[in-house]
């Protein structure tokens, strides 16, 4: 297991008086970054097809994978290939990233949310059964926060109603052991900046139907590649940001930004934003060669021990906070939970986050790109559970490197912050 970014030093830097445990750790090593920087100057564009084939085969030996710029790119390619009539409906998980909704709306389609079970974050089957209409074309299931729920029931339902099943695994990548449910029509995986096994970009789509895959590939191949210069700039920027994610360095950064009058939330969010400007223009590009190189490297050197350690530390923390009044962990009973994020429902999230930063924990409230999906025609039918989750959510900064004493301190800090927050009915 490679502790990131400074090995065993990570376990001790949190004890310094100015230290703050950061909200997220980039799942990459400096060896990965330096290899990618070197590739910016060494790769030959003529080798693009060979490199793409190698990484797609590494992801799926059966030839069903397509490497693209992002999950949004892959989803857009799918919708272009299918060319559903305007006004067609896509049933979707009621928590997702707003950009996925923008892609749906760009194609003239309607997103119909299905509320989630709070304990598992799986789609509520009874709600799903009442959501299908003659206009339904597919079901988009998003595994959120690192949960990975079994899709047997949803798959059987989709087949019985002759609609396609799309699986969004952007937050649930757990290594080569899982490349999508066997019955999903397409499965989408992200390797964006803060994702597990990040390549600072890139997505892979596993497509079951060969004809659909060929159409998606042809469209993707018509796009111009994103420039190497863009990716080189990204590598350099994130190598600097990566150095700030030890508790000692992040504490210095956070305090400096605050003294200058800026919001650390705003600064960090601006630096990790995937696409600035027009979304559709931005996603309709191919990956640069260095991005393909780094994506292949991350696929073939996946650090399962690191992910398992993050999962076990998260489970330790869940046990420590289990009995804190007015709190709960959504998705805690999911069949598989890899804790890409550690979400907790609390009263007054912003007050709780503000209190915990004083104890050295960069707890976030409202800075995530996730949102609940409103009902398309009647807000009184908005998904109740998902709306409650997103309105009362904070994310605790759990990493594979975090020592036991820090987990205990964070649990105590959460209990103190919640006790001081105004009561609410969760």
Q: What is the pLDDT of residue 380?
A: 79
Which pLDDT score, from 0 to 100, does residue 170 have?
Answer: 97
Give residue 268's pLDDT: 80
Instruction: Check: CB of residue 279 under 8 Å from CB of residue 69.
Output: no
d(CA 352, CA 417): 5
Looking up tokens 């964070």, which residue turns up?
Answer: 410
Give me the pLDDT at residue 369, please: 76
Contacts of 9 (CB under 8 A, 6+ apart): 246
Considering the segment(s) 32-221 as one domain, its CATH architecture is 3-Layer(aba) Sandwich (3.40)
Q: What is the pLDDT of residue 409?
A: 98
> Which pLDDT score is estimated for 292?
99
Farthest-apart Cα atoms in the chain, separation: 62
Cα distance between residue 268 and residue 270, in whole Å? 5
Local structure of 352: helix, strand or coil: helix
Say what the pLDDT of residue 270 is: 76
pLDDT at residue 417 in the model: 98
DSSP for 361-419 reads B--BSS-SS-EEPPPSS-GGGS-HHHHHHHHSEEE----TT--HHHHHHHHHHHHHHHH
State residue 258 phi and psi, 5-degree precision. -65, -40
Query: Residue 6: what pLDDT?
Result: 57
The structural domains of the chain, with segments of one domain joined by +, span 32-221
- pLDDT by position in tens, the chain (length 426): 565 655 566 667 788 899 999 999 899 999 999 999 999 999 999 999 999 999 999 999 999 999 999 999 999 999 999 999 999 999 999 999 999 999 999 999 999 999 999 999 999 999 999 999 999 999 999 999 999 999 999 999 999 999 999 999 999 999 999 999 999 999 999 999 999 999 999 999 999 999 999 999 999 999 999 999 999 999 999 999 999 989 999 999 999 999 999 888 788 877 776 666 799 999 999 999 999 999 999 999 999 999 999 999 999 999 999 999 999 999 999 989 999 999 999 999 999 999 999 999 999 987 567 888 999 988 878 899 999 999 999 999 999 989 999 999 999 999 999 999 886 555
For residues 58 and 293, the answer to whether their CB atoms sit within 8 Å is no
List b or e across 1-34, with b for residues whose CB sees 16 or more CB atoms inside 10 angstroms.
ebbbbbeeebbebbeeeebbbbbbbbbbbeebbe
């Amino acid at each position: 297991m490679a502790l990131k970014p400074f090995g065993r030093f990570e376990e001790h830097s949190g004890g310094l008086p100015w230290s703050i445990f950061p909200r997220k750790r980039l799942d990459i090593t400096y060896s990965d970054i330096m290899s990618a920087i070197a590739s910016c100057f060494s790769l030959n564009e003529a080798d693009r097809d060979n490199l793409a084939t190698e990484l797609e085969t590494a992801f799926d030996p059966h030839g069903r994978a397509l490497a693209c710029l992002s999950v949004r790119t892959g989803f857009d390619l799918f919708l272009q290939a299918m060319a559903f009539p305007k006004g067609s409906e896509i049933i979707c998980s009621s928590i997702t990233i707003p950009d996925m909704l923008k892609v749906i709306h760009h194609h003239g389609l309607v997103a119909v949310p299905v509320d989630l079970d709070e304990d598992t974050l799986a789609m509520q089957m009874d709600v799903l059964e009442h959501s299908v209409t003659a206009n339904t074309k597919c079901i988009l299931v998003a595994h959120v926060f690192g949960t990975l729920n079994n899709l047997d029931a949803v798959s059987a339902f989709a087949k019985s109603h002759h609609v396609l099943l799309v699986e969004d695994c952007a937050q649930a990548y757990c290594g080569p052991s899982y490349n999508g449910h066997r019955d999903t029509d397409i499965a989408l995986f992200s390797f964006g900046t803060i994702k597990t096994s990040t390549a600072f970009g890139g997505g892979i789509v596993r497509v079951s139907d060969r004809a659909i895959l060929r159409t998606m590939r042809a469209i993707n191949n018509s796009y111009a590649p994103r420039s190497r210069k863009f990716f080189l700039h990204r590598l350099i920027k994130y190598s600097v940001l990566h150095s700030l994610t030890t508790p000692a360095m992040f504490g210095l950064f956070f305090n400096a930004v605050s003294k200058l009058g800026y919001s650390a939330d705003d600064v960090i969010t601006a630096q990790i934003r995937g696409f600035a400007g027009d979304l559709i223009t931005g996603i309709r590009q191919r990956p640069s060669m260095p991005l393909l190189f780094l994506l292949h490297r991350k696929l073939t050197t996946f650090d399962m021990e690191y992910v398992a350690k993050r999962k076990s530390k998260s489970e330790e923390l869940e046990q420590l906070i289990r009995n804190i009044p007015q709190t709960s962990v959504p998705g805690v009973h999911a069949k598989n939970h890899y804790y890409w994020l550690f979400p907790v429902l609390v009263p007054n999230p912003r007050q709780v986050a503000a209190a915990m930063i004083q104890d050295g924990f960069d707890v976030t409230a409202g800075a995530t790109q996730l949102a609940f999906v409103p009902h398309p025609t009647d807000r009184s039918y908005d998904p109740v559970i998902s709306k409650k989750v997103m309105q009362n959510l904070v994310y605790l900064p759990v990493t594979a490197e975090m020592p036991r004493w820090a987990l205990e301190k964070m649990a105590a800090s959460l209990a103190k912050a919640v006790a001081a927050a105004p009561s609410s009915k969760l």
